[in-house]
Amino acid sequence: MPWADEADPANHFAIRTVQDAHRRGYGTALSLKFPFADRALPAAGSPELAAELARLDKVLPLLVGTVDILAIGNEPFIESRPAERDERLNVFYEAVADHVIAYRREHCGERCPTRLYMGALNRLDLPDRLTPAAERWMTFVRETPELEGVDIHPHVPSVQAVQPFLDYVLPRLRPDQKFLVTEFSLVWLWKAHLGDTIPVDFAQRYGYAPDTKVWEVIRAATENPFSQRKWNDFLAASPWYEANKDFLREQVQRFRDTGRLAFASYGFRQDALMVRDFQVTSSPWLLNSVFAPYTVQPDADGLTGQGYSWLDDFRALQRGHGHGHGDRPAAAVAR
């Protein structure tokens, strides 16, 4: 959202992308991101809140009536200062939601194709995240008729840590409401293994010292991308990765089995930020991606390098089921 003060929002890459995808017949979803990690949340009735709502009025005409799913907020309990993750966070996002709802009612009417969700809750697998503010968040979602549900971002350290997200949000939604999963991954499991020593067989096959660490191999791939075979061999030989290579398929099926999933999307392509100065302390988002142009060389036909294990399941999931809010395929998103 701050970008709307710097330039015409119509020129922002995210807005241009969803508008282009819409024109080409894809379903689209977009999250409105309000970064307050280093500044205070606007209070009710304040000039700062008025400024945020004015920014919304620049952006909403480009989205309402076009984008299929609009998430109000991205990761509010991360994109805020820890001391303000209380009722102050709720007051701000409730004001934003009320403003979006009023705009849609006035400018798009009862048959407006843009569905509204509140987004998104993180780390619901941790008891200290189940706060009064999270409870009020869900109460607001449930008691606001214009909201169709809530977004969750299950970036987790284990497969078992996904279920607490569903256990928390589903009982707190109205029976007619659904949930989004606009991001999910095992990134915190991957991170826990960056300091591991690489498998002996892989080290011997590719000439690495036996004490080489996982993060060092990944960094080498970011500096000089591997062949597809070498990247696949590295991850297939890593038991913490190989044991979870079906995570994408299994988790989407878990979400669908609830009967309440509206939309799920998965990290589609590595980007430059993921690979910049990769260290043992880095968050390895790059290991999630369906396509891996920054760590894997393109093949002889020019096809972008692939992340190990994800592409076949990604394709199968697109073909195998409906898409929640209609029959159009969903446009993939990147993290």
Task: Write down the pLDDT at residue 153.
Answer: 98
Q: Above pLDDT 70, what percent of the chain?
A: 96
Task: Write down the pLDDT at residue 288.
Answer: 97
Task: Write down the pLDDT at residue 64.
Answer: 98
Average pLDDT over residues 86-110: 97
Average pLDDT over residues 269-274: 96
Do the beta carbons of residue 93 and residue 47 sit within 8 Å?
no
Asked whether residue 58 is assigned to any structural domain, the reply reads yes
Asked whether residue 220 is assigned to any structural domain, the reply reads no
Asked whether residue 227 is assigned to any structural domain, the reply reads no
Quick check: 40 pLDDT over 60?
yes
Q: Rounded distance, CA 44 to CA 42, Å? A: 7
Contact partners, residue 283, CB within 8 Å, separation at least 6 = 187, 191
Q: The domain containing residue 104 runs over which residues?
A: 2-184
Three-class SS state of 75 = coil
pTM of this structure: 0.93
Asked whether residue 172 is assigned to any structural domain, the reply reads yes
Quick check: 272 pLDDT over 80?
yes
Do the beta carbons of residue 169 and residue 152 sit within 8 Å?
yes
Quick check: 274 pLDDT over 70?
yes
- What's the number of domains the chain is made of? 1
CA distances in angstroms from 119 to 126, 133, 141, listed in the order given: 18, 14, 10
State pLDDT tens for residues 26-39. Answer: 999 999 999 999 99
Q: Rounded distance, CA 303 to CA 116, Å? A: 36
Do the beta carbons of residue 187 and residue 288 sit within 8 Å?
yes
Q: Rounded distance, CA 246 to CA 84, Å? A: 38
Distance linking the first and last C-alpha atoms of the chain: 18
Average pLDDT over residues 171-181: 98
State pLDDT tens for residues 291-333. Answer: 999 999 999 999 999 999 999 999 999 887 544 444 444 444 4
Q: Rounded distance, CA 150 to CA 262, Å? A: 10
Quick check: 51 pLDDT over 80?
yes
Sheet holding 115-122, edge to edge: 29-32, 69-72, 115-122, 147-153, 178-181, 261-264
Task: Write down the pLDDT at residue 5.
Answer: 85
Task: Write down the pLDDT at residue 148.
Answer: 98
Task: Write down the pLDDT at residue 318.
Answer: 87
Strands 69-72 and 115-122: parallel
Task: Write down the pLDDT at residue 321.
Answer: 52
Asked whether residue 129 is assigned to any structural domain, the reply reads yes
Do the beta carbons of residue 41 and residue 88 sit within 8 Å?
yes
Contact partners, residue 12, CB within 8 Å, separation at least 6 = 3, 4
Q: Residue 155 has what DSSP assignment? A: B
Task: Write down the pLDDT at residue 332.
Answer: 44
Asked whether residue 280 is assigned to any structural domain, the reply reads no
Average pLDDT over residues 158-181: 98
State pLDDT tens for residues 2-15. Answer: 888 888 999 999 99
Asked whether residue 213 is assigned to any structural domain, the reply reads no
Q: Rounded distance, CA 117 to CA 72, Å? A: 6
Quick check: 107 pLDDT over 90?
yes
State pLDDT tens for residues 183-239. Answer: 999 999 999 999 999 999 999 999 999 999 999 999 999 999 999 999 999 999 999
Average pLDDT over residues 48-53: 96
Length of the chain: 335
Asked whether residue 265 is assigned to any structural domain, the reply reads no
- Report the CATH number at residue 49: 3.20.20.80
Peptide bond before 120: cis, by omega within 30 degrees of 0? yes
State pLDDT tens for residues 242-258. Answer: 999 999 999 999 999 99
- Residue 13's CB: how many other CB atoms inside 10 A? 8
Q: Residue 25 has what DSSP assignment? A: T
Q: In the predicted model, what is the mean pLDDT of the chain?
A: 94
Average pLDDT over residues 80-98: 98
Task: Write down the pLDDT at residue 223.
Answer: 98
Task: Write down the pLDDT at residue 334.
Answer: 37
CA distances in angstroms from 204 to 7, 69, 195, listed in the order given: 53, 49, 19
Could you tell me which of 98, 91, 89, 20 has the C-alpha nearest to residue 60? 98
**182-192 b/e with 16+ CB inside 10 Å = b?**
bbbbbbbbbbe
